[in-house]
Amino acid sequence: MSSLSGIALGDLSIEGDEPRDSQLHDFDSLNDRPEFSLPQADGGKDAWLFLAACFIVEALVWGFPFSFGVFQEYYSTHEPFSSNPSGIAVIGTTATGIMYMIGVPLSAAYNRWPRFANRSKWAGVPIMAISLIAASFANEIRYLILTQGVMYAVGGAAVYCPALIFLDEWFIRRKGFAYGVMWAGTGVAGLVIPFLMNFLLEQYGFRTTLRIWAVTLVLLSSPLVYFLRPRLPTPSVSRSPRHGLGFLRTSTFWLLLMGLAIESLGYFIPSIYLPTFARSLGLSPSIGSMLVALVNAAGVISTVVMGLLIDHFHVTTVILLSSVGAATSVFLFWGLSDALPVLCMFSILYGFFAGGFVSTNAGVIKVVKQRDERTDVGTLIGCISAGRGVGAVLSGPLSESLLRGNPWSGEAGLGYGSGFGSLIVFTGVTAAMGAVGFLGRRLGWV
């Protein structure tokens, strides 16, 4: 995402260019002093340490909710939740959705109190740990939604959003690549966490598993928070709430946001339901974990590749590639699956094409910034995340509604007749409609 401090200094850097001399006059004068110099952007020890910390924090913060399909399978088949499983899917989509949506109020807070971003990051890890420990005592799904969902998301956003915004200061010419590397952390974690959670759940149950992960988060994340720091000095003066909001009047922003929100309605569904779908075919829980891991693994490669493409092609071209590939994989492979090899192929293809969609956020920032150089990048990132968050939150209750009554069961063949048919079609349609921005560009609206 970019500088939510950018937020403090968001319009100092323009996508693809160094910050303008007139904007950095004060910082240039500081650089002339022997006792002060800015760290190197786009490279150097400090930049790479920052990016490495971002990668690992991304993996730890997002890898857990992105592996929720394992918990979905466990909660729906074990007491005290299996007797009334309604709402289980909402736990995972609430966590991801709120982490996305909270960027808007956080960007406003960072504008009002510029130093808040660099201070609030220290609260994130403790809040996440407390949320998981509290969830381990839950006996009802609504309490899991509140703790493993809402409370975890607040903690995750507190540490994640500052990192996302500071990245805009550390990487200027290689922004797409940097965002891609950072977001690849989720996929790397998704290779390990589903198997780890499945093992822990089978051996110790959900209560001990959540407590183990809480301790793991604290031990692994806390030393890295120090490196999630801004590159530029943070101004002490607050900014107007309306500063840099001209992008809200452009069709470019709204069309790209619409495509992102629609795509997000179905994006999380495979990761949540693949373990349950695998069980409906008679496959073991470990196979379900493997399928989620394949989705995440393919996403590792995709986020970096799509990030590199964003640095060289228009964002709508990359969006089209992602949308068409994801939709094709859903309709052809998930819809026609009735055995493990086809499901594996679907997981890999969907993970690659859909998993890379997040990297297009860097391209959206680039295009919108080109339309209005005064755009506050932090607020823009918050709005983009909110669009994705709305889709994530709605996908939970929508997916449960689509599965109610086992629609199309016995009336269609293969995956379409498994009781998941309407869910498969919904996922494919939303993936395809994510390309609305490409159509808007062809019509001259982007």
Q: What is the pLDDT of residue 152?
A: 96
Name the pTM for this structure.
0.72
pLDDT of residue 359 exceeding 80, the answer is yes
The Cα 96–Cα 391 span in angstroms is 10
Q: Computed from CA positions of residues 292, 298, 303, 306, in that sequence, does the dihedral angle turn out positive or negative?
A: negative
Reduced to 3 states (helix: H, G, I; strand: E, B; else coil), residue 236 is coil
Q: What is the pLDDT of residue 239?
A: 61
Give the model's confidence band at 49: pLDDT under 50 very low, under 70 low, under 90 confident, else very high: very high
Reduced to 3 states (helix: H, G, I; strand: E, B; else coil), residue 308 is helix
Q: Average pLDDT of 74-91?
A: 86
Domains of the chain in start order, with CATH, are 41-442 (1.20.1250.20)
Reported for 232-235, long-range contacts at CB under 8 A and 24+ positions apart, including other chains, are 232/5, 232/8, 232/9, 232/12, 232/27, 232/38, 232/169, 233/27, 233/30, 234/5, 234/8, 234/9, 234/114, 234/115, 234/117, 234/118, 235/8, 235/9, 235/114
96, exposed or middle or buried, with CB in 10 Å at 0-12, 13-18, 19+? Answer: buried
Q: Cβ neighbours of residue 392 under 8 Å, at least 6 residues apart?
A: 93, 96, 97, 100, 264, 267, 268
The Cα 320–Cα 438 span in angstroms is 6
Q: What is the pLDDT of residue 428?
A: 95
pLDDT of residue 22 exceeding 80, the answer is no
Give the model's confidence band at 119: pLDDT under 50 very low, under 70 low, under 90 confident, else very high: confident
Q: What is the pLDDT of residues 195-215, one digit of tens each?
A: 899 899 999 999 999 999 999
- Give ∠ CA 231-240-42 in degrees, rounded to 5: 20
Where are any strands of DSSP class E within 264-353? none
Average pLDDT, the chain: 83
Angle between helices 269-280 and 68-77 (to 10 degrees): 40
Residue 324 near residue 234 (C-beta atoms within 8 A): no
Q: What is the pLDDT of residues 289-304, one digit of tens each?
A: 889 889 988 888 888 8
Quickly tell me which residue has 């993936």 as its tokens.
431
Query: CB atoms < 10 A from the CB of 374, how many?
Result: 12
Query: CB atoms < 10 A from the CB of 370, how many?
Result: 13
Residue 49's closest CA among 196, 167, 152, 157?
Answer: 167
